[in-house]
Amino acid sequence: MNWNKRLLDTPVIGDITQKIASAKANREAHSISDHFTQFLQPCVAINQILKEEAFKIRHNVYCEELAFEDVRDNGQEVDEFDQQSIFSLIKHKPSGTFTSCVRLVTSSGPDELLPIEKYCMSSITNKDLSPELFDRDEIAEISRLAVKSDFRRRKADKYKGSSTGVISEVSYSETELRCFPFIAVGLYMTAATMCINTGIRHVYVMMEPRLARSMKFIGINFQQLGDPIDYHGIRAPYYISPEIFMKNLSPGYKSLFSTIEKDIGSQLSQFKLV
């Protein structure tokens, strides 16, 4: 166990350390939200062309890089749940490159299971929040979050960073670099906006516990529903609702969320007309 981890796990000291980290992230968010729209554009996939951009990013990450899925001849990773999903991406404005994607899997009835229901239901031990207890049109799952390797920092780079959301310094300006680590956060905020705008009340996600801990620093408090399992890596089932999301989001990140919500909200109105 490293020194920082021991600090976080120490009573009192751990609480103080987490508060300091949270306060620092909150201050950064005020600044980041000012620059986010200058370099990054959240997009709802309102047509097939944009959906295919998401499928290409997923193929790059899940098939070519991580080898969780087989490589496809057409360079697009798709599965059975895409037909019941809403997709969003984040574009790097200066280059016109799509950096990342996420989908919100919905259900219109008992024949449309969420991925967590089909593959990971046994991992949910908190039965009070089991998706089977709620109306089908009010549940959804955030899944297939992927950030292209070009916008992440690799292990060989000089600076430390996680495999998602921390980017390479080679090709981008200093101001852009301050925004890019928030790509993953932006994807979750985009997904939250899609939930709020489509009447979803109960949201599930299979994620790495360390990512869930990182989200707590900014006030996105996913509730763990069971122990981690091996599902595309070590992941655990989590739950969140729009009410919980908005209640706990730190002030600085509310500013960033407001920016994303306004943008995505206007696009969703077009999506509903398509």
In this prediction, residue 175 carries a pLDDT of: 55
Q: Is residue 20 part of a domain?
A: no
Residue 1 has pLDDT above 80, yes or no: no
Domain of 111?
Answer: 26-271
In this prediction, residue 166 carries a pLDDT of: 37
Q: Is residue 183 part of a domain?
A: yes
Residue at 246: amino acid letter: M
Residue at 22: amino acid letter: S
In this prediction, residue 269 carries a pLDDT of: 79
Query: Which has the closest alpha carbon to 267: 55, 98, 88, 19?
Result: 88
Tens of pLDDT, residues 63-114: 998 888 999 999 999 999 999 999 999 999 988 999 999 999 999 999 999 9
Tens of pLDDT, residues 178-227: 555 578 888 999 999 999 989 999 999 999 888 888 788 778 899 999 99
Q: Is residue 31 part of a domain?
A: yes
In this prediction, residue 28 carries a pLDDT of: 61
Q: Is residue 17 part of a domain?
A: no
Q: Is residue 206 part of a domain?
A: yes
**DSSP letters along 6-67, please?**
HHHHSTTHHHHHHHHHHHHHHHHHHHHHHHHHHHEEEEE--SHHHHHHHHHHHIIIIIIIS-
In this prediction, residue 37 carries a pLDDT of: 78
> For position 218, which CATH number holds?
3.40.630.30
- Residue 60's φ and ψ, nearest 5 degrees, are -60, -40
Does residue 151 or residue 44 have the better pLDDT?
44
Q: Is residue 145 part of a domain?
A: yes
In this prediction, residue 213 carries a pLDDT of: 85
Residue at 273: amino acid letter: L
Q: Is residue 15 part of a domain?
A: no
Q: Is residue 14 part of a domain?
A: no
Residue 87 in 3-state DSSP? strand
The model's pTM: 0.81
The count of structural domains within the chain is: 1
Residue 116 has pLDDT above 60, yes or no: yes
